Amino acid sequence: MMKKDNWSYTSIGIFVIWLFHISGILGIYFGNSQWFIDKSPLNLLISLLLFLWLFPIRRFKHFLLLFLFCGIGLFAEWLGVQYGLLFGTYEYGENLGVKLDGVPYLIGFYWALLTFITATISAKTGLPGWTQPFAGAGLMVFLDVFMEKSAPAFDFWEFEGTVPLDNYLAWFGIGLALQLLLYFSKVKGNFKISLHLYLAQLLFFLFFYFFPIS
């Protein structure tokens, strides 16, 4: 009975994930683009809440890692925004909500969410254990490549000039460190919700990579 209930909750979560992401794509491209763009942080927040509920994040170890990853992500971004370290010279826009010294709190939680779901996906690849953190970090960078193209149009963040190679190297290096922490912590999560969260975000940014907002 529990397995059936868990599957039902996961199915509802998957439906909501795709509903919001597909609606966002259609609304931005064919409808009132600015209205939907302004609501894009809500999409990310809903994804975060579904992740917390269905991954699930319930044990003390889960919460400890979640806030550790969030803190590391925020600190890395703070170094980038304030000193141009790690990622290059860039600044955040106004569409990711409340900021801490120029860095949105939401971006820290996004680092954590992305680490958890990519680690869960990489664990299912059948790759040798020691290579899984590298695969997870690679998935993080792969998504970021497509995010960078649309980030200025969504008022998420914008680099001074072109996005430097340092940005992707930093993403991989920090991502790998977080992946290794998670790997050695032996945290297991919901593969289905992780996969759909990743694919929905990838499709969203992939679409606007090839069909930029005018």
Model pLDDT for residues 89-143, shown as the tens digit of each residue: 999 999 998 999 999 999 999 999 999 999 999 999 989 989 999 999 999 999 9
Radius of gyration of the chain (CA): 17
The pLDDT tens digits for 195-214 are 999 999 999 999 999 998 86
CA 15 vs. chain centroid, Å, equals: 18
CB-based burial, 195-211: b 16+ in 10 Å, e otherwise = ebbbebbbebbbbbeee
The pLDDT tens digits for 134-158 are 999 999 999 999 999 999 999 999 9
Cα gap 174→119, rounded to integer Å = 14
Tokens 């269905």 found at: 54
- Rounded to the nearest 5°, which phi and psi values hold at 152? -65, -40
Tokens 């899984």 found at: 132
Model-level pTM?
A: 0.93
Cα gap 118→197, rounded to integer Å = 10
Cα gap 51→86, rounded to integer Å = 28
